[in-house]
């Protein structure tokens, strides 16, 4: 009993100091599309660009030209990406998280 009290407070301290999304549920934080984008996508898409394929940035007009018109289409790219992009399944990014990221992209990059 005593042992489990110690380990749960250790976890709590870890969670308050952690910067990763690992403890989001423990902290009861709201989903943050910007934070999720920075965690999963910004390596290749810094500021909505594309370091691997410069022809495919995340700017609205460019997305539209490639048939990516809304949040659903962006989520589709996460689940089934084109060449050079990491695949993100529901275990890595839940549908809710994916939607928050898609909405962040649509409202941020023009």
Q: Site residues (CB under 6 A) for ligand HEC?
A: 40-41, 43-45, 50, 52-53, 56, 58, 62-63, 66, 68, 74, 77-78, 82-86, 88, 93, 101
Q: Of 35 and 45, which has the nearer Cβ to ligand HEC?
A: 45
DSSP H helices, 1-110, are 2-17, 24-27, 33-40, 60-65, 71-79, 95-108
Q: Of 4 and 61, which has the nearer Cβ to ligand HEC?
A: 61
Q: Of 10 and 70, which has the nearer Cβ to ligand HEC?
A: 70
């Amino acid at each position: 009993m005593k042992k489990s009290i110690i380990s749960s407070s250790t976890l709590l301290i870890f969670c308050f100091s952690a910067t990763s999304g690992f403890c989001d549920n423990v902290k009861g934080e709201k989903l943050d599309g910007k934070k999720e984008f920075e965690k999963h996508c910004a390596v290749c898409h810094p500021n909505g660009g594309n370091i691997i394929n410069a022809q495919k940035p995340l700017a609205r007009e460019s997305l539209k030209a490639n048939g990516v018109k809304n949040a659903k289409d962006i989520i589709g790219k996460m689940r089934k990406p084109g060449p050079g992009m990491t695949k993100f399944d529901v275990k890595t990014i839940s549908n809710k998280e994916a939607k928050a990221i898609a909405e962040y992209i649509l409202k941020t990059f023009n």
